[in-house]
Chain A
Amino acid sequence: MVSDRLLHSLLALFAALAAGLLLLVVGFIAQEALGLLQQLGVGAFLFHGEWQPYAGRFGLLPMLLTSLLLMLGAVAIATPLAVVGAACINFYLGRHSAILARRLVEIAAGIPSVVYGLWGLTLLVPLLAAIKQPGASLLAGMMVLALMILPTIVVVVDAGLRALPTHYRENAEALAIRRSGFVFAIALPAVRGSVITGATLAAARAIGETMVVMMVTGNLVQLPGSLFDPVRALTANIALEMAYAMDEHRSALYVSSLFLLLFAVALVLTNQLLLGWRGRHG
């Protein structure tokens, strides 16, 4: 078929275009970063805690750690909540409430992150400050990020649950397994792949999120000693300093971007690894 072949070549063209653009971005970042990276060595960035661009010290460790902790914390908070939420929508709500809940979740997934940040800044941060000053902290970042990525995970897990054949439920009932047993022993384990994928997608959003963390984490460059410490994430650092950074400082920010890129790659690989492992043993 001519139209088939045409469509095929069009798709191939767009795919190549997308891949090319991505390579261009990566190449650009790498080019900006490599000079300094070669000059100072990876260790100078990875294993040092001092970020003093004007003194030529570019230790990224505190910010790398902060970004990692923010991501892990947010995913750890959001995933269980999202899984329970998706299970509720599918198995406990009535038909109409379920539809309503799905629309709400979709809306929540589309809210710009700055709105979540604003909410965190005006509501959550003062609340945390009442417990321990200054309020803007690692914990605040984790919580607002968790809220922000929650709908993403719900959407993915919900899609997985909806794709489950309806007869699993009848089979479970016929085996004297009631609803709660069905949900927790059969339905949720059956969509473990969706949970993993949803959590990974959400993790990618969390690690890349800039606005929220800039608004609620306090932006102090330091190794987080406790959940209530103000911290600065890698992304926030780039956004805060790019406007005036020059020369080496500027290159160091590109090195930060490179690390963020590596995070993204690592997430994709982790996802594949987990899914593959599940495929063999699930």
Chain B
Amino acid sequence: MGYLGDAMDQRQACHEPAAGEISLCTDQLCLSYGSKQALEGVSLEIKPRAVTAIIGPSGSGKSSFLCCLNRLTDLTAGSAVSGQVKVGSTEIYGTQRHDPVQLRRQVGMVFQRANPFPFSIWKNLALPLRHHGVRDKQQLRQRIESALQRVGLWDEVSDRLNTPAGALSGGQQQRLCIARALVLEPSILLMDEPCSALDPISTQRIERLILELKERYTIVIVTHDLAQARRIADHVALFWSFEGKGRLIEYGPAPQIFHHPTHELTGAYLAGHI
């Protein structure tokens, strides 16, 4: 199965998803902010229940790409997307306006800076649940506990759920944000440099967590840390900026990218020459 839907001669990159999987795939995805084009012709098929790392120099459109996958680009005035993004069987930028709320419940996101809302730990998790119709106290409690368990935070905070989330350490806050994304039970998790503001111990903690989470979730993680990509990625996509336009230049299984890159830029980038 080809990794790169080679755009020129092969129009469709998105295969039919296997039963029970929510697939994620882009085809000829272009994004521009006003007159500035940030992404050009990105076609790739994300493998389910695996960690896909997106690497590349800064400004190569990694974050922009991630924002296309849950339509967070809608927030930026003047942004325009062309090409396809398919989540499951839905084309999310399709002609009939697709409701982003449904999409974002399926595709969770974690940002670079841990940014819990300025409320208690409990309320940070209860808020999205309540907003999406979970009112039953018992059910709230159970889902909050399971989300906190999943990120390994339950034992650390179960006795102070009502204290402000801002009082947690940076690493704990980031895990809380992951829990907040998981509490809605998405099937895909997008992470934009989730460890770049954290100390090594917290980073290690989150990397372990990511490896656990990939049993159940499809994870796309942007990282500028190549060592991290080596540690956790099953698949790696390298983005590069050509005259300001971000493009995907190589995509494949991690061992192949790290040991036998085909693109000369990949080799140079991984060796630290660029």
List residues 73-114 of chain B with CB under 8 A from any CB of chain A: 74-75, 100-105, 108-109, 111, 113
A171 and B115 contacting across the interface, CB-CB below 8 Å? yes
- Of the listed stretches B34-42, B124-132, B266-274, chain A binds B124-132
Residues of A with C-beta under 8 A to B75: 169-170, 173
Q: Which of B74, B118, B132 is the most central at the interface, judged by chain A CB atoms within 10 Å of its CB?
A: B118
A176 and B118 contacting across the interface, CB-CB below 8 Å? no
- Determine how close the nearest CB of chain B comes to the CB of A181; give it in whole angstroms: 5
User: Which residue of chain B has the shortest Cβ distance to A164 in the bound complex?
Assistant: B118
Tell me the complex Cα distance, A169–B74, Å: 12
- Determine how close the nearest CB of chain A comes to the CB of B117; give it in whole angstroms: 6
A171 and B184 contacting across the interface, CB-CB below 8 Å? no
Tell me the complex Cα distance, A147–B238, Å: 59
B127 and A185 contacting across the interface, CB-CB below 8 Å? yes
User: Which residue of chain B has the shortest Cβ distance to A94 in the bound complex?
Assistant: B77
Residues of B with C-beta under 8 A to A171: 111, 115, 117, 177
With A176-B184, A177-B128, A282-B164 known to touch, is A168 a contact of B117 (CB < 8 Å)? yes
Query: Mostly helix, strand, loop or mixed at chain A's interface?
Result: helix
A167 and B115 contacting across the interface, CB-CB below 8 Å? yes
- Determine how close the nearest CB of chain A comes to the CB of B253; give it in whole angstroms: 29
Residues of A with C-beta under 8 A to B180: 175
User: Which residue of chain B has the shortest Cβ distance to A193 in the bound complex?
Assistant: B118
Residues of A with C-beta under 8 A to B104: 173-176
- Determine how close the nearest CB of chain B comes to the CB of A65; give it in whole angstroms: 38
Interface residues on A, range: 10 to 19
Residues of A with C-beta under 8 A to B132: 176
Tell me the complex Cα distance, A189–B131, Å: 14
User: Which residue of chain B has the shortest Cβ distance to A175 in the bound complex?
Assistant: B128
A167 and B184 contacting across the interface, CB-CB below 8 Å? no
B117 and A170 contacting across the interface, CB-CB below 8 Å? no
With A167-B113, A170-B75, A181-B131 known to touch, is A176 a contact of B100 (CB < 8 Å)? yes
Residues of A with C-beta under 8 A to B72: 170, 173-174
B127 and A186 contacting across the interface, CB-CB below 8 Å? yes
List residues 132-149 of chain B with CB under 8 A from any CB of chain A: 132
With A167-B113, A173-B72, A177-B128 known to touch, is A189 a contact of B101 (CB < 8 Å)? no
With A177-B128, A185-B131 known to touch, is A282 a contact of B119 (CB < 8 Å)? yes
Q: For the complex, is A165 an interface residue (Cβ under 8 Å from B)? A: yes
List residues 153-173 of chain A with CB under 8 A from any CB of chain B: 165, 167-171, 173
Q: For the complex, is A105 an interface residue (Cβ under 8 Å from B)? A: no
Residues of A with C-beta under 8 A to B74: 173
Residues of B with C-beta under 8 A to A170: 72, 75, 111
With A169-B75, A281-B162 known to touch, is A175 a contact of B181 (CB < 8 Å)? yes
B131 and A177 contacting across the interface, CB-CB below 8 Å? yes
Tell me the complex Cα distance, A190–B108, Å: 23
Q: For the complex, is A48 an interface residue (Cβ under 8 Å from B)? A: no
B117 and A186 contacting across the interface, CB-CB below 8 Å? yes
Residues of B with C-beta under 8 A to A174: 70, 72, 104, 108-109, 111, 181
Q: For the complex, is A178 an interface residue (Cβ under 8 Å from B)? A: yes
User: Which residue of chain B has the shortest Cβ distance to A177 in the bound complex?
Assistant: B131
Complex partner residue of A167 from B102, B108, B111, B120, CB under 8 angstroms: B111
A190 and B105 contacting across the interface, CB-CB below 8 Å? no
- Determine how close the nearest CB of chain A comes to the CB of B56; give it in whole angstroms: 22
* 28 pairs from A and B in contact (CB 8 Å cutoff): A168-B115, A170-B75, A171-B115, A173-B72, A174-B72, A174-B108, A174-B111, A174-B181, A175-B104, A175-B128, A175-B131, A175-B180, A175-B181, A175-B184, A176-B102, A176-B103, A176-B104, A176-B128, A176-B131, A177-B131, A178-B101, A185-B127, A185-B131, A186-B117, A190-B118, A190-B119, A282-B119, A282-B164
Known: A173-B100, A185-B131. 6 other contacts (CB 8 A): A167-B113, A176-B131, A177-B127, A177-B131, A181-B131, A190-B117
